[in-house]
Amino acid sequence: MRLKPVRFSSSPRPGRACESRFNTGFTLLEALAAIVLGAMILTTSALSFVCLLKRAWARDMIAQAESLGSRMSASITSAMKTSSAWSIYPDGQSYLADPVNNVSSQGNALVCQTTTASGQTIIVLFSYQNGRLTRSDLSASDTTISVSNCTPASGYVFNQNAGLVSGSFEIQTPVERLTFDVYGTSLRMR
């Protein structure tokens, strides 16, 4: 028995030409899988980007709070060190009502009085009220620094002990609570 040689033809069979034209794309299942995979990648990327933006915003808020707190601390220290007299009051209204009789050893208001070389008296009031610590120059009736989201670190912002004035306040940020401590003595005490 003899085998017949097989011939291979380079031309497709007549039925194959139509069939191969429809098999060139993706199936429905492949297309749906690609869409789902793409959506998952985009969602993950978007969530990562949102988390990155939130962290950057929180760092910015902390930096702003640190800057304001440091400026307020430096202002209080400078006023205490250059003052010729200072007094602590329960609050700013107590000082304004009766500056002589309302003096206290602890409170939420500190008044520093400085006399310049030309004889001009400068009175600076640091007052905590309703979550805001402010510095006001009473001789110019101007609020120069104000810190929001602020609370006393312990009971009152300002305390006096053996001639040393101390202040302690906290600023709440979205992530953490920052604490600032201030110490100083007036020129008379040095």
In a domain, 180, yes or no: yes
Comparing CA positions, the residue from 183, 184, 127 lying closest to residue 150 is: 127
Residue 123 structural domain: 45-189
**For residue 14, what pLDDT is reported?**
54
In a domain, 10, yes or no: no
**For residue 100, what pLDDT is reported?**
85
Mean pLDDT over the full length of the chain: 84
* Strand arrangement, sheet containing 85-89: 85-89, 109-115, 121-129, 132-137, 142-147
| Contact assessment for residue 106 and residue 166, using Cβ atoms and an 8 Å cutoff | no
Structure tokens at 137: 């120059």
Q: Is the pLDDT of residue 162 over 90?
A: no
In a domain, 135, yes or no: yes
In a domain, 66, yes or no: yes
Q: What separation, in Å, do the N-terminal and C-terminal C-alpha atoms of the chain show?
A: 127
* DSSP-assigned letter for residue 154: B
In a domain, 153, yes or no: yes
In a domain, 40, yes or no: no
pTM of the full structure? 0.71
In a domain, 3, yes or no: no
Q: Tell me the pLDDT band of 47, cut-offs 50, 70 and 90.
A: very high
**Domains in the chain: how many in total?**
1
Higher-pLDDT residue of 175 and 162 is: 175
**How far is it, in rounded angstroms, from Cα 88 to Cα 110?**
5
